[in-house]
Structure 1
Amino acid sequence: MLQNTLVDVYGECGQVDHAARMFELIEDKDAISWTSMISSCINNGYAVEARSHSGLVEEGKIFLEIMKCKYQLEPWQEHYVCLVDLLGRVNRLEEAYQFVKNMAVEPAAEVWCALLGACRVHSNEELGEKVAKKLLELNPKNPGNHVLVSNLFAAESRWNDVRVVRMRMKADGLKKTPGCSWMEVGNKIHTFIARDKAHPESHKIYQKLAQIIEKLENEGGYVAQTKLVLHNVREEEKVEMLHGHSERLAIAYGLLSTSDDTPIRITKNLRICEDCHAFCKLVSRLYQRELVVRDASRFHCFQDGFCSCADLW
């Protein structure tokens, strides 16, 4: 059905309000209609509307059982990810770990990633190390998993472990994918790579970015989280590396080239880092602009200093 497709497309573009309006127009809503609307809500962080996340653990568990017992439907890995995420958000990490270990099917990397992310948020070092080991065993050739594990160790200032992970990556010939962001302005796609100056308006972009950083520091109390930089370099260089992240270049260009009443929409190939997440929240508040960033795992809709993910992603 065309309307179901449109609900899905609007959700994939971060336009949940449009998806909801299209959903309401569907007279005979079927399983595909509801799945499309639920997916749109979840992917864009509207957890309560999707009856998922935000601590609604028991409801999530009930829905999973209904799928299996009443409708004889085998849950997808995505459903298991949702439940692990639910448990992780309310810091029921041991329960989440036992759930994953006892799944009827082999947990996919995405399930372990969701649990690892929860360990990072709640600073559960012991469980995080177990999950990190399992994730690397499951997919040893995926550089993204190595980076995720490395970030976990870095957040705990475990620099020896960071070095071990990076040495293993080097030995296996694995390279971290450079951060890249895209945005559409004037019917043209503009590409930004971390710390790159290939854009024809690069000089203006970096000037604007410097102004943004100054405003965020002076009016928003922004301080760069240099612990997230996994390189043994001087503090000043770490700050420079953070400021050169691709989504920040895209934001600067968006503020330069779009009108004040339009959202800035960005797509990024990697998961947004904690520092850029904080950066985006401050930009949305101090510049009164809606930012929609689609990273490798989900949409982040920033408005008035808040993100739709509630800082858990």
Structure 2
Amino acid sequence: MNHDVIDIRWLEAFAAVMSAGSITGAARLLGRSQPVVTRQIQDLETDVGYLLFTRNGPRISPTPKAILFHAEVERLLMGLKHIRQRANAIGAGVLPVLSVAAIPALAAGFVPAALAALERELLPSQVHVQALSAENVVQSVLSQSVDFGLASLPVQHPGLDVQWVCQVPCVACLATDHPLAKKKVIRLKDLGGRRLLTMANPYRLRRRVDEALEREGVAAGEVIDTNSSLTAIAMAKQSLGIAIVEPVLTSSLPVEGVVTRSLDVSIPFLFAALSPTGRELTPTIAALNDALRAAVAMMRGAKLHAGSAALSEADDEADEAEKASS
């Protein structure tokens, strides 16, 4: 691979082809000719040293390497766009652009409320809110392509400053006509043989759910997993099963046709507020941080831990809560 900086026009062409699905569509998006885009893709492939697209006549398909590469290119191009907006804001003497990344539940559940709570003079004219996986939230904060992040644990990394950690017990979501909906508290043992709706990522909340079920000797009948708690709740509404999710969305965006019930066993959900190490919080980000912290503290059973030391402290407390409830 060439170790020089990759030509930004090649990356733009690549991103446009990935978005449009064709060279012709990409040329239209970019306002460039089709031969120019074709040559730029070829130059990029030569530079990186591997094929990005397979050709079958006029049709092209991205290679597996292209799909991985696209995530990096997309993040870079978004960062460059933000730099332009920040430069314009500095030149105009106005508030800089605010960029926030959060896991989907928090992006939909608490970020809007926190933004609405900011005083008018602290809210920039340009705000970017991205709903990403926890891993991508961490990477976005590390690369400083966003100013602030909210991600589920684990998030330990030397390039992150942890503002606070929140621990809150998971809940069960069921259709209003589900036989268990009449109960005020759902026992994990009641879930034996029933279809569960839960998270797919085995390294975060799913791990705690599986461990709790195993400790109680509960074997689910079937499992539907997803990367979004909102999707799990929507499936519960359609009577596809019982969702075990964090209470973020149910606290802020009640879904008609779905009831939320406590569990008899504590399954802690932990998430953290993150900023790049060494970067002082601006007045806007500090106010947003305070608003988010105040909002999440309103969840039933929520416990807040302050600072980076809170990571191990919250994890230890969560483990003890799980053991005690079982």
Same fold per TM (> 0.5)?
no
Which is greater in Rg? 2
Structure 1 length normalisation: TM-score? 0.28
Structure 2 length normalisation: TM-score? 0.27
Decide which structure has greater strand share. 2
